Chains A and B, each alone.
Chain A
Amino acid sequence: MNTQTHQLPQPVFSLALLRRHALFLILLLLIAGFASKEPAFVQPANLLSILQSTSVEALLGLAVTVALIAGGFDLSIGATASTALIASSYAMVVWHWGAVPTVLFGLLSGAAIGLFNALLVVRLRIPDLLATLGTMFLLGGLQLIPTGGQSISTGLMLPDGSSASGTFAPGFLALGRARLLGVPVPVIIVAVIALALWLLMQRTRWGRVFYATGGNEQAAALAGAPTARYRTLAYVLSGTLAALGGVIIAARVGRGDVSGGGSLLLDSVGATLIGFAVLNARRPHIVGTVVGALFVGVLLNGLTMLNVPFYTQDFVKGLVLVGALALTFGPGRGRA
Chain B
Amino acid sequence: MTTPDTSSPLLALRQIRKRYGATVALDGVDLTLHAGEVLALMGANGAGKSTLVKIIAGVERADAGQVLWQSQPVTFGSPRAALSAGVVTVHQQTSQLGVPGLTVAENLLLGKLCDPASPVLQSPRQLLAEAARVAGDLAGGLPLTADFADLTTAQRQLLALARALYENARLVILDEPTASLSAHESRRLFAAVDQLRAAGIAVLYISHRPADLRRLADRAVVLRNGQVAGGFAAPLDLDAALRVLTGGTLPLRSKALTPTAPGPVRLQLDAVRLLPESPAINLTLRAGEVVALTGNLGAGKSHLLRVLFGAGRLASGRVLLNGQPWRARNPAQAIAAGVFMAAEDRWRSSFLPTTTLGATLADLIALPHLPQLFKSGWLDHTALDERAISWIARLGIRAPGPQATPDQLSGGNQQKVVLARWQSMPAQVLLLDEPFQGVDIGARHDLVNAIRASTDRAVLIATSDLEEAVEVADRVLIMDQHGIYDPGPLRDGASLLDHIEQLERFAGQASNPAEEALA
Contact = CB atoms under 8 A, between A and B. Distances in A.
Interface of A: 1-8, 201-209, 211-212, 214-216, 218-226, 281-283, 285, 335-336
A219 B398 CA distance: 23
10 contacts: A5-B409, A5-B410, A5-B413, A8-B22, A205-B378, A207-B357, A208-B367, A215-B359, A219-B350, A224-B336
Nearest to B343: A222
A211 B358 contact: yes
A173 to B, nearest CB: 37
B358 A226 contact: no
Nearest to B350: A219
Interface stretch (B65-73, B202-210, B368-376): B368-376
Nearest to A283: B355
A220 B349 CA distance: 8
Contacts of A283: 355-357
A74 B52 CA distance: 45
Contacts of B508: none
Contact of A218 (B349, B359, B398): B349
Given A205-B374, A283-B357, A216 B352 contact: yes
B331 interface: yes
B348 interface: yes
* Chain B at the A interface: SS class: loop
A16 B251 CA distance: 44
A335 B348 CA distance: 22
Contacts of A1: 44-46, 398, 410, 442
A2 B224 CA distance: 9
Nearest to B311: A222
B377 interface: yes
Given A5-B400, A283-B356, A283-B357, A203 B379 contact: yes
B122 interface: no
B378 A203 contact: yes
A3 B367 CA distance: 28
A206 B25 CA distance: 41
A226 B330 contact: yes
Size bracket, chain B contacts: 35 or more
Contacts of A221: 311, 331
Interface of B: 20-23, 25, 44-47, 225, 309, 311, 330-332, 334-336, 341, 343, 348-353, 355-359, 363, 367-368, 370-371, 373-374, 377-379, 398-400, 404, 408-410, 413, 421, 442
B23 A219 contact: no
Given A4-B23, A216-B356, 17 more contacts: A2-B23, A2-B398, A201-B357, A203-B379, A205-B371, A205-B378, A207-B379, A208-B357, A211-B357, A211-B358, A212-B352, A212-B367, A215-B353, A216-B351, A219-B348, A224-B336, A224-B371
Nearest to A207: B357
Contacts of B348: 216, 218-219
A219 B352 contact: yes
Contacts of B370: 205, 208-209
Contacts of A204: 374, 377-379
A336 to B, nearest CB: 7
Contacts of A205: 370-371, 373-374, 377-379
Contacts of A211: 352, 356-358
Contacts of B44: 1
A193 B195 CA distance: 66
Contacts of A281: 355
A211 B367 CA distance: 11
A201 B377 CA distance: 11
Contact of A7 (B335, B343, B408): B408
A8 B399 CA distance: 12
Nearest to B247: A1
Contacts of A203: 378-379
B351 A2 contact: no
A206 B408 CA distance: 26
Given A2-B225, A216-B352, A223 B331 contact: yes
A224 B350 contact: no
A2 B47 contact: yes
Contacts of B25: 4
A166 to B, nearest CB: 42
Nearest to A200: B377
A336 B377 CA distance: 33
Nearest to A282: B355
Contacts of B22: 3, 8
